[in-house]
Amino acid sequence: MKRLISGLLTAALCLGSVPTALAVTTTQTVTAGASSDQTSARRADLQTLLDTLAQHPDLYHANSKQVFDAKAAEIQSGLAQMSDVDFALALCELAALAQDSHTSVSIGSQISGQVRVLPIGATVVDEGILLTRLPEANKSALGGILTAINGVSMDEIYQKMMPMLGGDNAVYQHRKFSQAFYIYEILAHYGVLSDPNGIELTIQQGDQVQKITVDAVDRTTLSKMQLARLERKAPATAPDKKKLYFAKALDARTLYIQYNSCKEDPKLPMQTFTQQIVDQLDDKGYDRVILDLRGNGGGSDGVIIPLLHVLEERHKQDGLAFYTLIGSGTFSSALINAVECKQAGATIVGTPSGGSVDHFGAVRPFTLEHSGLQVSCSTKFIDLAPLLPAAQSYDVQPFEPDVLAPQTRADYLAGVDSAVQAILSRTDDAGQPAANLSRGALAVQLGRDYAARTDTALNNPDTSFGDVCIIAYDAPYISWAAHAGLMSGDSATVFAPNRAVTRQELAVVLSRYAALCGHPLTVDGTVTITDKASIASWAQDAVQALVSRKVLTLTDGAFAPSQTVTPAQADAAVRALDTLMDQM
The CA distance from 573 to 568, in Å, is: 9
- Structural domain boundaries enclosing 25: 2-111
* Domain identity same for 39 and 105: yes
Q: Which of 291, 287, 278 is nearest to 252 (CA)?
A: 287
Give the long-range contacts of residues 85-90, CB within 8 A, separation 24 or more: 85/30, 85/111, 85/114, 85/115, 85/185, 85/186, 85/189, 86/189, 87/34, 87/42, 87/371, 88/371, 88/373, 89/21, 89/164, 89/186, 89/189
Cβ–Cβ under 8 Å, residues 168 and 112: no
Q: What's the rounded Cα separation, in Å, for the pair 108 and 373?
A: 8
Same domain, 332 and 412: yes
Shared domain for 322 and 456, answered yes or no, is: no
Burial track 425-438 (b if 16+ CB lie within 10 A, e otherwise): eeeebbbeebebbb
Q: Is residue 287 part of a domain?
A: yes
Side chain identity at 314, as an amino acid letter?
A: R
Whether residue 291 is contained in a domain is answered as yes
* Residue 245, phi then psi, degrees to nearest 5: -160, 150
Task: Indicate whether 235 belongs to any domain.
Answer: no
Examine the fold and report which residue of 229, 257, 279 is the final residue of a domain before the chain moves on.
229
**Same domain, yes or no, for 186 and 45?**
no
Position 457 scores a pLDDT of: 85
Determine the 3-state secondary structure of 54 from DSSP.
coil
CB 328 within 8 A of CB 172: yes
The C-alpha atoms of residue 224 and residue 5 are separated, in whole angstroms, by 8
Per the CB < 8 A criterion, the answer to whether 205 and 143 are in contact is yes
Alpha carbon distance 106, 18 (integer Å) = 11
Instruction: Supply φ then ψ for residue 350, to 5 degrees.
Output: 130, -130
Decide if 350 is inside a domain: yes
- For residue 169, the tally of other CB atoms under 10 A from its CB is 21
CA atoms within 13 A on the CB side of 422: 19
Three-class SS of residue 317? helix
Query: Could you tell me if 213 and 326 lie in one domain?
Result: no
Are 87 and 136 in a shared domain? no
Give me the half-sphere count of Cα atoms (radius 13 Å) on the Cβ side of residue 38: 17
Number of helical H runs and strand E runs in the chain: 19, 18
Q: Are 131 and 89 within one domain?
A: no
Question: Could you list the pLDDT tens digit for every one of the 584 residues in the chain?
Answer: 333 333 434 444 444 333 333 333 333 344 455 678 999 999 999 999 999 999 999 999 999 999 999 999 999 999 999 998 899 999 999 999 999 999 999 876 556 667 899 999 999 999 999 999 999 999 999 999 999 999 999 999 999 999 999 999 999 999 999 999 999 999 999 999 999 999 999 999 989 999 999 999 998 899 899 899 999 999 999 999 999 999 999 999 999 999 999 999 999 999 999 999 999 999 999 999 999 999 999 999 999 999 999 999 999 999 999 999 999 999 999 999 999 999 999 999 999 999 999 999 999 999 999 999 999 999 999 999 988 999 999 999 999 999 999 999 999 999 999 999 999 999 999 999 999 999 999 999 999 999 999 998 887 767 789 999 989 999 999 999 999 999 999 998 999 999 999 999 999 999 999 999 999 999 887 899 999 999 999 999 999 999 999 999 999 999 999 999 999 999 999 999 999 999 98
Degrees, nearest 5: CA angle 255-292-498? 75
Domain boundary, last residue among 111, 129, 149: 111
- The reply to whether 434 falls in a domain is no
Q: Identify whether residues 36 and 171 lie together within a single domain.
A: no
Q: Is 379 exposed, middle or buried (0-12, 13-18, 19+ CB in 10 A)?
A: middle
Assess whether 148 and 99 both reside in one domain. Answer: no
Indicate the burial class of 120 (C-beta count within 10 angstroms; 0-12, 13-18, 19 or more): buried
Give the HSE-up count for residue 579: Cα atoms under 13 Å, Cβ half-sphere: 11
Closest to 325 measured CA to CA, from 399, 409, 395, 235: 399
Task: Tell me whether residue 547 is in a domain.
Answer: yes
Supply the CATH number for residue 309's domain: 3.90.226.10
Count CB atoms within 10 A of the CB of residue 476: 21
Q: What is the DSSP letter of 2?
A: H
The answer to whether residue 36 sits within a structural domain is yes
Residue spans of alpha helices (H) in 404-487: 409-413, 418-424, 439-454, 475-483
- Among 61, 76, 111, the domain boundary falls at 111
User: Amino acid identity of 514?
Assistant: A
Residue type (1 letter), 501: V
156: CATH: 2.30.42
* CA–CA dist 263, 176 (Å, integer): 23
Please tell me the number of Cα atoms within 13 Å of 125 on its side-chain side.
Answer: 22
Burial class (CB in 10 A: 0-12, 13-18, 19+), 389: middle
Contacts of 428 (CB under 8 A, 6+ apart): none
3-state DSSP percent of the chain in helix, strand and coil, to 5? 40, 15, 45
Give the total number of structural domains in the chain: 4
Contact 328, 407 (CB under 8 A): no
Distance CA 244, CA 106 (A): 24
Q: Are 323 and 347 contacting, i.e. CB atoms less than 8 angstroms apart?
A: yes
Instruction: Report the C-alpha gap between 581 and 518 in whole angstroms.
Output: 9
Interatomic CA distance for residues 511 and 509, integer angstroms: 5
68 and 146 assigned to the same domain: no
Quick one: 446 and 546 in the same domain? yes
267, 404: one domain: yes
Q: Calculate the alpha carbon distances from 5 to 164, 219, 228, 439 in Å.
A: 26, 9, 10, 58
Which contacts of 546-555 are long-range, i.e. CB under 8 A and separated by 24 or more positions?
546/507, 546/510, 546/511, 546/521, 546/573, 546/577, 547/507, 548/524, 549/521, 549/524, 549/580, 550/576, 551/510, 551/576, 551/577, 551/580, 552/503, 552/506, 552/507, 552/510, 554/527, 554/529, 554/530
Indicate whether 349 belongs to any domain. yes
Closest CA to 304 of 330, 284, 286: 330
